[in-house]
Each structure stands twice: as structure tokens, then as C-alpha cells.
Amino acid sequence: EGKQFKICGTNYPTSICFIVVNEFCERFSYYGMKAVLTLYFVSYLGWDPDLSTAVYHAFSGLCYFTPILGALIADSWLGKFKTIIYLSVVYVIGHVVKSVGAIPTVGNKEMHIALSMLGLILIAFGTGGIKPCVAAFGGDQFDEENVSERQKFFSIFYMSINAGSLLSTVITPILRGDVQCFGGDCYALAFGVPAALMVVALVVFIAGCGLYKRNPPQGNILLEVCRCIGFAIKNRWKSSKYDPKRKHWLDWAEEKYSKRLIQEIKMVLRVLVLYIPLPMFWALFDQQGSRWTLQARRMNLSFVRVCLHKVKMLNALLILVFVPIFDLLIYPLVGLCRINITPLRKMVTGMIFAALAFGAATLVEVQVVKTVVEPAPAGNCLLQVFNLADGDISVKTPGNNLFPEPIGYLQDPPKYETLPLEGSSKEVKIQVTFKGSTSECTQMFIEETAYSLFFYSTTAGIECVLVSAEDTITKDENGSPLLRFFNTQPEAINLTVGQESFHVPGDYSVSPNQTVPRSEYPDVSCISQSEECSDLNLGLLDFGASYTVILTNESDTIVPHKMEDVQANNVHIAWQIPQYVLLTAGEVMFSITGLEFSYSQAPANMKSVLQAGWLLTVAFGNVIVLIVAEGAGLEQWKEFALFAGLLLGVSIIFSFMAYFYTYVDPDQLDKIYQKDSGKEEDDKKQKTDDIQMNNKGKETRM
């Protein structure tokens, strides 16, 4: 055991400096990696949003199931110090494997997926395994008489968690997006920096090894609790109806276990029963990193390009602001109104705030989806019509009138119309009337596809062309605008938009859709063999929009006409701030209070049991998201509304459970059983004396 040194004459051991720095680096490592994880799944591995959400929450859930394993290893086998060292090594290996999996030149896509999944599993065992050990190991460094210093240490420890989270959620997304490597976003670097920080965390922790106070493993109280419960159930099952009744089913363990242990387990079980509704809160809370990130990508990110990541860091920043505000201002003010603020009431209020956050997310999502073009259902396709004839045209489709109003020259179609096909494909005859003359346009359409149909006039009359490439109606994953050009001229035209080159074949042909950065484009380079093709002004190409630019010849000059196929993201990212504020306020009232409640209601030797139970509520919360995201198949706004409604319902149930809960004082239990144990010792001593007297009597008679 290391020699204890104090910091500058205080009662704080020097060893806690190493532990706090270790926790800061470890949390930076963990949250930094998670900050870009959903985008990595969608953009790099090419997974759809539902699968990405499912894997993200499966990983988060595993990180909160593994603390039980870490607690078992530390308490009954290796002790906290060695457990932290060994599982940190596993943690580092996981980060390295994950980083290697993000290097495009290492193997194929299957190799990237395999390495990523292996890395995530190792990280989950590492972070989960050390989670219940580091804080408790920090608490072990204090002497019993330094209780207030120990409490302040946990506050400092909590702040280091949020500071690490805050910095990492700013830095790693910048490393991913602003640094380019291997010809794209640098996920290898975004995962590599957290890996390096985890190495630093391990080195810092080992550096303090000569100063640590190490308590040897005492045997696992969790195993003892499980054995006692198992024995009580078994004994109760074997009992006959003639056996005397007992007040509580746990009392059937009295034959083998002490009354004190049984009473402590009763206290813990009453709290664990209260935990049953709590996973629903975490199901909502953890969607900040998945569903809310995907929502943000379909919003307007103007003014600050990294705004997406700045909004994501709001939670950690608001925690640092809200904790002192709630403790020093809000709770005392509520107390002045003679309202009894019990921990369980705070938790119920926190749940309601989280439900309101998802109500706000639902309202935002309803506005966001207005700019999204829904794919055509089976047996239908989507169609928009462009008029390049110099005058109005009237378009009629068989069986219905999709275009009741005349279509003006170079009019931007307001939206895609749904064209029924009554099968997987169909040849459709479309009538078009131009200047009193009606002609037919016959085209083959395939179901669940989006099309653009162009009408133009020739000396022979109106002609039509259905572009060879189907339209891209899905918004780009990163919110970048999509751009294509339609060339009405006989010769091909080459254009350069920013860094992207477009080759547009001649004679009413279209170039493939390409993403370009969101920006103003006043001078797009244009090259044509025979016609005047000076720089073109495309104006603003905005977030999430899809554009078709029609190139026409006007006065022997190429002129662009920009059409918006899919609307730009017109809901600003700032509209996500209220939902983050509400959710963080809920977290302060729910999460921090829940931790305090768990500690205050648990006997000293049972605190680890309740911590394991508390962490399990987070794990089961992620399981709920998995079930809803994969199983329900709802529209996103309906899914948000469902979660808000479920949490409101759960908060009502929890309110009833809290109403019937009686708060206990574990210290009072200590006093009672100290007296009882003293009495038991006297009884045992008396019995021993009686036996010895009997034995002496027997010896005398013999």
C-alpha cells in the first residue's frame, strides 16, 4: 500500500489528482468516440439510420451491463486497482482496433465492419468494467474522518466527467470533418485521438501507484445478496402449509443468514423495485447521440458549419451551468414556497421535463419533414414536369389529372406528384397541349421511382424527354446540397462547381447528381466548344436541397435556370436548443438526484449493489430504444411523440410508487444492529459458558 501524502496541508490525498485526471481522459476518450459513432455508421459503413441507431444503442446498453462484471472482478478477485489496470488495457486495445477499422486502405468493407464491432465490444468491456471501480477507488483514498472532503471529491469527479465529455464532443467532430485523410472525412483520426487519450489515462493512473491506498477484495456482497435471496425462495418453496407464517418472504432465509443482512436486502429490494420504471427516462436521454443527431443533419446549419456538433455538446455544457443553478437558486426558492422537495419528487419532475423535451423534438420534426420528399409507395411512381417550350402547356395523365393548372415556361415544379401505375411498371400516354395543339408523350415508368419529364418545342411540335437517370429525392447524409445540370444545347458542356467537375452531354441530356458544399456560387466555370459560355451565377446552393439547373441558350449565351427538386432544410438548428435545455434540466433533477437517493437509502456495504442496479436502468433504457427503432417502423415524429407519451405515463406510475415509499436512515439501522449484535455476543458468551460448565460436570461424574 502506498504512503499517503496530502495536498498542500489539506485533508485531500495527493493520489486523487491521478484518479481525477484519469477519469477526465477516460471520459474524453469514451464520449469523443461516441460523438462521431452514428455518423461513422451511416457515412462510412453505409448503414441506414435505423440500423445505425440500433447498433449505437446496443453498444451503449452493453457499456452499462458490463459494470456488474467489473464489480464482481474487483470485489471478489483482483481488487479495484488491478481491475482498473487490466480492463484499461482491454479498453486501449478496443480503441486501437476501432481506429484501424476506420482506415479505408485496411481490407474491404466487411473487414471494416468486423474490426469496428470487435473494437466496440472491447471498449464496452473496458469502460463498463472500470466504471464502478474508479469512483469507489477514489473514495477509498480518504480516511473515515474526512467525510466532507470525500463528498467534495465526488463533486470534482462528476465535474471531470462533464469536462471530458464537453471537450471531446467539440474536438473529435472537428477532427472528423475539418481534417481530410484517405480522400475523405478522417474517422481514423477522430477515433485515434480518443485512443491516445485512453493511453494517457492508463499511464497517469499507473504513475500514481506508489501513492494509492488499496483495500483488499472483501468478497462480493452482490454474490452474498443473490445467495440469500435464492435460499429464501428455495426455503419458502419447500415449506409446508403447517409451518408458521412469516411477515416477509425474505424472512425464510433466517435459518442461514443474519437478521441484519436480511433487513439490508429488504431495504435494497424496495429501492430496486422503484428502479423498474426508470429505464424509460434513459431510453429518451440516450437518443441525443442517435435520433437527435440524425434530425440535426436535416436542419439548416447556416452561420456556423460545425453547429451540429456545438448543439450536441450543449448537454455537457448545460450540466456544468445547471448543477450550481439548481442547487444554489432553484431548489432553495422552491423550498421558500414551503414545498417539500424530496429526492423522488425531483426525479418525477425530471422525467416530465424529459417528456417535454421529446414533445419539443416532435414539433421540430413535424417542421423538418415538410422539406422531405417521401418515396412513392408500391404500384406508384413520382413525377415532376418541366416546361422548356416558350409558352404555357397543359399536361393530362390518364385516369386522373395530376397537373390541373397550366405549367409556365421554366416554372419550378412545386412538388413531385404521385402517378399510379397499377403494377411494377407501366407504359403511360401523357397528353400535352401547347398553343391549341395537343400531342401525346409515351414513356415507361417503374414503381417506387422518381422521374423528371421535360417538354420542349421543335418545328415539328412538342417533344418530351424522360431523363435517363432516376431522380435522387433522398437528402444527403451530411446535409450537403445535390446538384445536376440539364443541357438543352446540341454540344456537351463542362462545368466546375467549387472543387466538383460536371460533364453534361448535349441534346437534352442530364448529368448525374453530385454533392457540393453549401455555399454561394456566383462564378461557376463553364466550357463549351462553339457557344459563348462565360462564368455562370448559380446563387446559393443550400443545406439538404436537390437542384436541377437547366442550361439554355439566350442571345448566343448559356444561361442557367435553377430549379429546386427537393426543398432546402428550412428549419434552423437553433430550434433544437429548447429540447436540449429541457432534457438537461430533466437530467439534473433525475440523474444526479437518483445517485444521491441510491446512496442515502443503502446500507454502507450495499452501495455497490444499488450502483449496479442504477447502471442497469441505463442499459435497459437502450434496449427499449432498440425495440422501438427496429420493431415499430414509425415515422420519426410519431416515434418521438410515442416516447414522450410513454415517459409521461411512466412518470405517473412512478409518482404512485414514490407516494407509498417510506424513506429510511441506514445509520439508524447500524445503531439498532450494533445493540442487537452486542446482545447476541452476550447470549453466545452465556451459551459457551453453560456448555463449558456442563462439560466440567460430565468430567467430574466420569
User: Which residues of 286-335 form beta strands (DSSP E)?
Assistant: none
Residue 242 lies in a domain: no
Q: What is the DSSP string of 183-223?
A: TEE-HHHHHHHHHHHHHHHHHHHHHTTTT---PPP---HHH
SS3 at position 429:
strand
**How sure is the predictor about 314, in pLDDT bands with cuts at 50, 70 and 90?**
confident
Question: What is the predicted pLDDT for the residue at 306?
Answer: 46
List the beta strands (DSSP E) in 215-282.
none
One-letter amino acid of 262: I
Give per-residue pLDDT as tens, 166-190: 888 778 877 777 777 776 778 888 8
Q: Average per-residue pLDDT in the chain? A: 84
pLDDT reported for residue 702: 34
Residue 641 maps to a domain: yes
Q: Kindly state whether residues 637 and 548 are assigned to the same domain.
A: no
Instruction: For residues 264 and 677, give the distance between their C-alpha atoms in angstroms, rounded to a whole number.
Output: 15
Q: What letter does residue 415 receive in the DSSP assignment?
A: S
pLDDT at 476: 82
Q: Are residues 354 and 378 in the same domain?
A: no
Q: Are residues 578 and 540 in the same domain?
A: no
Please report whether residue 525 resides in a domain: yes
**Is 49 a member of any domain?**
yes
How far separated are the first and last CA of the chain, in Å rounded? 55
Q: Given the DSSP bridges, would you call strands 425-434 and 437-446 parallel, antiparallel or unpaired?
A: antiparallel
505: containing domain:
475-568
Query: If you search the block for the grid coordinates 417510506, which residue do you land on?
Result: 662
pLDDT score at 294: 80
Residue 255 has pLDDT above 50, yes or no: yes
Q: What percent of the chain has pLDDT over 90?
A: 38
Same domain as 286, residue 150: no
- In which region does residue 436 sit, left (phi positive, over 0), alpha (psi from -120 to 50) or beta (all else)? left
- pLDDT category at 481 given cuts 50, 70, 90 is very high
Say how many C-beta atoms besides its own lie within 10 A of residue 291's C-beta: 25
pLDDT confidence of residue 613:
79
d(CA 524, CA 531): 16
DSSP-derived letter for residue 605 is G
Question: What is the predicted pLDDT for the residue at 689?
Answer: 54
- What is the band of 353 on the pLDDT scale with cuts at 50, 70, 90? very high
Query: Which residue's entry shows cell 412545386?
Result: 414
Q: What 8-state DSSP symbol labels residue 239?
A: -
> How much of the chain exceeds pLDDT 70, in percent?
88
Indicate whether 249 belongs to any domain.
no
Among 553, 568, 583, which residue terminates a domain? 568
Q: Both 384 and 364 in a single domain?
A: no
Integer angstrom CA distances of residue 583 from 283, 284, 289, 644: 12, 9, 13, 11
How far, rounded to the nearest angstrom, does the alpha carbon of residue 164 sit from its chain's CA centroid?
17
The tally of domains found in the chain comes to 4
Decide if pLDDT at 446 tops 60. yes
Domain assignment present for residue 506? The answer is yes
Same domain for 92 and 215: yes
Please check whether residues 454 and 493 belong to one and the same domain: no
Owner of C-alpha cell 445467495: 227
List all residues 6 or more positions away from 559 whose beta carbon is below 8 Å from its beta carbon. 536, 551, 552, 553
* pLDDT-based confidence at residue 565 (cuts at 50, 70, 90): very high
| Whether pLDDT at 287 is above 70 | yes
Identify the pLDDT of residue 64.
86
pLDDT at 70: 84
For 614-648, what is each residue's pLDDT tens digit?
888 888 888 888 787 666 677 889 989 999 999 99
Q: Which of 3-12, 72-81, 231-240, 346-355 has the highest mean pLDDT?
A: 346-355
DSSP state of 240: -
DSSP string, 562-592: EEEEE----SBGGGGHHHHHHHHHHHIIIII
- Please check whether residues 103 and 212 belong to one and the same domain: yes
CATH (domain of 550): 2.60.40.2630
Give the Cβ contact number of residue 612 at 10 Å.
20
pLDDT the model gives residue 464: 93
Residue 13 belongs to a domain: yes
Higher pLDDT, 385 or 339: 385
Per-residue pLDDT at 687 exceeds 60: no
pLDDT digits (tens, 9 = 90+) for 92-110: 999 999 999 999 888 888 9
State the Cα–Cα distance between residues 509 and 548, nearest whole angstrom.
12
Same domain, 4 and 125: yes
Cβ atoms within 10 Å, residue 359: 20
Evaluate if residue 396 carries a pLDDT over 60.
yes
pLDDT of amino acid 86: 95
Q: Which residue has the higher pLDDT, 476 or 510?
A: 510
Q: Is the pLDDT of residue 308 over 60?
A: no
Residues 466 and 506 in one domain: no
The last residue of one of the domains, among 568, 584, 602, is: 568
pLDDT for the residue numbered 388? 94
Which of 117-126, 134-143, 155-164, 660-669 has maximum average pLDDT? Answer: 117-126
By the 8 A CB rule, do 486 and 454 touch?
yes
546-554 vs 482-487, strand pairing mode:
parallel
Domain of 135, CATH number, reads: 1.20.1250.20
Considering the domain architecture, whether residues 28 and 131 belong to the same structural domain is answered as: yes
Nearest of 542, 544, 524 to residue 534 by alpha carbon: 524
How far is Cα 649 from Cα 643, in angstroms, rounded to an integer? 10
User: In the structure, what pLDDT confidence band is assigned to residue 459 with cuts at 50, 70 and 90?
Assistant: confident
Residues 46 and 61 in one domain: yes
The answer to the question of residue 487 being in a domain is yes
Strands 184-185 and 393-396: unpaired
Among 425, 457, 474, the domain-final residue is: 474
Rounded to whole angstroms, how far apart are CA atoms 96 and 29? 12
Nearest to 671 by CA among 314, 263, 164: 263
The grid cell for 309 is 456538433
Q: Which of 94, 53, 70, 477 is nearest to 286 (CA)?
A: 53
**What is the pLDDT, as a whole number, of residue 307?**
47
pLDDT attached to residue 182: 74
Mean pLDDT of 499-518: 91
